[in-house]
Amino acid sequence: MSDTPANEPLKFAYWVPNVSGGLVTSTIEQRTDWGYEYNKKLARTAEDNGFEYALSQVRYMASYGADHQHESTSFSLALLLATERLKVIAAVHPGLWQPAVLAKWVATADHLSGGRVAVNVVSGWLKDEFTALGEPWLEHDERYRRSEEFIRVLREIWTSDCAEFRGDFYRIHDYDLKPKPLAVPGRAHPEIFQGGNSTAARRNGGRVSDWYFSNGKDYEGFSEQVAEVNAHAAEVGRTPRFGLNGFMIARDSEKEARETLREIIAKANKPAVEGFRDAVQQAGNSTGDKRGMWADSSFSDLVQYNDGFRTQLIGTPEQIADRAIEYKRRGANLLLLGYLHFQEEVEYFGRHVLPIIREKEAALGARELVTAAR
């Protein structure tokens, strides 16, 4: 089990639909739009319904049913300026960004937003995104080595007056970033998220990241990742936090929720899902121990392209709250959520699901206090 205090509330993030096609690769109706006006309204709705974070997606070209995409960092800043409390995580690719340039962008965005910007460092899995832009495509573990250096450079620049770094991918000499990001209570610098399933990703999560994002996982799969990442963290005296991806289908009855899931899969865009599967499973299986992202995902899993169905946040508000609390017990600090119809379902979450989660958290905390007193 996690050492996270039971009285620390579970945090919630949502996937920003800044990419066309919604969060499932299916022809089912998705009352979600990738444009700015929709997303501005959604961000304001989310921060009023229990969401503390939003994650902007990063794509550089059409893939798996998504023909259009807004750039992540500029879209993230626009959402920050349209909200008051929401923290927005901009996804970025090492190899397509120079870390000192990103560090400068983040510092500026941090000042403009009052200290609410974060980054998600994505090592990359789609070869075509790099080769189409004339950038070299590294082997799997090399991409994660580059990401580790990228994160170390960001942290060095944000926290040192005369930043120095000598690595295999990046070199920084006597660089003084001014202004630095804002001094915000509870953080040493803007938060750094990083995800993946592979051994290399878990090592990075423990050694350098503030947050480790997990693809959708069942209970045992998530617990196994938490234990391994924490073991890497313990070796260097760090304590990362954990986010878990999940696609939420909350309905008044379990039957209705399960029927929605069945319809999503039945109407899957098969050519797009199969093309995605071919690309990502090659990437996942390219690791020596075959533990990369999506290496064991089924066709149905990949209809939600980050294995969100596996987390099984599907059913009534009570059923979903029970699963959320169990994931919290197993180490989750944050749930990253996707929806079929974002605006309506974010509101439903705030009205019907979140209050039950908070009630169950209070009960869990009371039980743990009694146990500790014995």
Q: What angle in degrees, to the nearest 10, is found between the helix axes of 140-159 and 99-113? A: 50
pLDDT value of position 288: 61
Closest alpha carbon to 51 in 317, 348, 304, 325: 348
Instruction: Write down the pTM of the prediction.
Output: 0.93
Q: What value does the mean pLDDT take over residues 351-367?
A: 93
pLDDT digits (tens, 9 = 90+) for 122-178: 999 888 999 999 999 999 999 999 999 999 999 999 999 999 999 999 999 999 999
The pLDDT > 90 percentage for the chain reads 82
pLDDT at 182: 98
Among residues 114, 75, 107, which one has the least CA distance to residue 91? Answer: 75
Reduce the DSSP state of residue 54 to 3 states and report it.
strand
User: What tokens appear for 1 in the block?
Assistant: 């089990």
Say how many Å lie between the first and final Cα of the chain, rounded: 19
Return the closest-CA partner of residue 260 out of 217, 202, 309, 221. 309
Cα 320 versus chain centre, distance: 19
Residues 204-234: pLDDT tens digits? 999 999 999 999 999 999 999 999 999 999 9
Q: In the structure, what pLDDT confidence band is assigned to residue 274 with cuts at 50, 70 and 90?
A: confident
Q: What is the DSSP letter of 50?
A: T
Chain-wide mean pLDDT for the chain? Answer: 93
Beta bridge partners of 335: 12, 244
Q: Which two tokens stand for residue 164?
A: 């120095």
